[in-house]
Structure 1
């Protein structure tokens, strides 16, 4: 038996294993065999680790209109069990033994589907690290939020070697890219426009776009908002005068329509991003924690530092 295969097999058989999920320790006596992931970015984490054969399906994608062609091609063999957040009945009907979700990524605080409610049915839950801010204190958003999820999934499913190699690759790619960024210029001020016209929904200090923006050599104007994805007023956006607006593309309102809304509104006519037509579009799957974050950082950097 080749040494690498021996190591991988040994790792896969090293149960029970325990991982930290938000403020809980979760122990697995064996790798899940009927896993369900919620949302497009969490599903892509499962795919990046080659776990489709351990999955019963996924949920929470089509209702939010976040499914793109890359994911569509990779999940053709898996059913979408629910277009929105799943109910307990959906997960039980799929004979699920594991649910990978997050707070406001398939679970709501005080809702029907939580780690506690699913425990009664022997469905283990691992929570998206970025989302833990909804139930506990945590550090500001960083790329480690995404890395730790991949590493913990690797432990849970007995593919630690693959997860560690994937994360090491991401870290090296980002380090190499960061070395190419300009060091002397003033970091551009950036506003993340997710949705909303009366009040914008945006990314605060605990949402992953803050980490993406900083890794791309800029700053999020809502970094002082002690929340994750959050609704704010337009007044602070105007006062903080962003140089660039990052549009999150998903749902019924297109990125083009969001850009047009800002360009056509007299209240925004003096914002530098509008004056200079500096908008950059991220797909939802790029603006949430997942395997496409590194590519998103590179695209943001190209928009932030055009020279």
Structure 2
């Protein structure tokens, strides 16, 4: 009986060990003994990753959406059974009060370096954190943004929640869909010069090499004129934009200032009159959820690729 019990115990321990999953989260390795049961995601794009993997049953809510953006019908249907626990960045007490065991967020996507909500401050309360790959530049060195950043997050979430097959199927579908679309596009003689205009009038807030639009623009065949900016999202001077003379301006649409208002600002300002994109009225609008890492990056690349090839 003792031998039988020992064998059974060993088998049980082996099964437990096999169930553990370790993933890389920025500069940390994080181990999960079992899939989280009370997850919270922050921001619209991170929440859509959870929805794309059909993880609603593992979630107790989400944060950081309505305070910044509005939900479209597709997104609203996906989260209708879940509460929004905080309209903007959540306080630590919000996550603890929801009995969360997992927080999917990023640096400047729900967490701030040195802030009250970080992997280190949540660990004593049993809340594991997985960090958005694109945001890792805020806590250490990282390669420029790429489509693989988004695929990496889906793959790691799949491993964390025990749905790796589902995640790989989703990733392969996205990759095949995008490759098929791009194969049908005409070749570009030169990569168009592209400027990303997020917000700001005195100085523009834009995407550097570590922000997702840099990857989207490159995947579509263009060049981000700020791809030498050694930052993620940051402000630059308008003089640099004028000097680099973008042929196309990508407008990120969210918040109180509409895309049309941003376009009007550029079109009506005499200082921008000689910019090629302004002279030729070549503006492309991406919704916030398309311009940040998430499932809608595929449609974003398609939108940009078509715009780059338009007369």
TM class by smaller structure: over 0.9
- 1:9-32, Cα deviation, whole Å (9 max, x unpaired): xx9994111000000000001000
Q: Does 1:285 align with 2:286?
A: no
Q: Tell me the CA shift for residue 67 of structure 1.
A: 2.3
Q: Which residue of 2 aligns with 1:295?
A: 299
Q: 1:222 to 1:37 in 2, by over 3 A?
A: same
Q: State TM-score, norm by structure 1.
A: 0.95
Consecutive aligned runs of 4 or more in structure 1 exceeding 2 Å deviation: 11-14, 66-69, 180-184
Deviation at 1:151, TM superposition (A): 0.2
CA 1:12–1:101 in 2, change beyond 3 Å: closer, same or farther?
A: farther
Name the structure 1 match of 2:150.
146
Q: Deviation per CA, 1:186-210, whole angstroms, max 9, x where unpaired?
A: 1110000000001100000000101
Q: Is the 8 A contact 1:206 1:228 kept in 2?
A: yes
Map 1:83-102; keep pairs closer than 5 Å: 83-102=87-106
Report the CA distance shift for 1:78/1:241 in structure 2 as closer, same or farther (over 3 A).
same
How many corresponding residue pairs?
A: 297
Equivalent of residue 52 in structure 2, options 40, 48, 51: 48
- Decide whether the 8 Å contact of 1:12 with 1:159 is kept in 2: no
Q: 2:7 aligns to what?
A: none
Contact 2:253 2:286 in 1 (8 A): yes
State the alpha-carbon separation in 1 of the partners of residues 188 and 111 from structure 2: 43
Show CA shifts across 1:144-187 (max 9, x none).
00000000000000000000000011111122222223335111
Unmatched 5+ stretches in structure 2: 1-14
Alignment of 1:82 with 2:86, yes or no, is yes
Provide, for residues 249-305 of structure 1, a one-character-per-residue CA deviation record: whole Å limited to 9, x for no partner. 000100000000000101001101010110010000000000000111101111111
CA distance in 2, matches of 1:243, 1:296: 18
- Calculate the TM-score normalised by the size of structure 2: 0.93
CA displacement, residues 26-51 of structure 1 (integer Å, 9 cap, x when unaligned) = 00010000000000000000000000
CA distance in 2 between counterparts of 1:102 and 1:12 reads 29
Q: Is the 8 A contact 1:12 1:157 kept in 2?
A: no
Q: Radius of gyration: which is bigger?
A: 2
Aligned to 1:5: none
- Paired residues of 1:130 and 1:289 also in contact (CA < 8 A): yes
Please state if 1:217 is matched with 2:221.
yes
Looking at structure 2, the residues matched to 14 and 75 of structure 1 have their Cα atoms a distance apart, in angstroms, of 32
Please give the per-residue CA displacement for 1:189-236, whole angstroms capped at 9, x wherever unaligned.
Answer: 000000000110000000010110111111100000011011111110
1:80-124 CA distances to partner (integer Å, 9 max, x unpaired)?
Answer: 000000011000111100000000000000000000000011100
The equivalent residue for 2:23 is: 19
Q: Mean Cα displacement is larger for which, 171-180 or 42-51?
A: 171-180
Say if 2:252 is the partner of 1:248. Answer: yes
Instruction: Confirm or deny: 8 A CA contact 2:41 2:104 kept in the other structure.
Output: yes
Map 1:1-307 to 2 at 5 A: 14-307=18-311
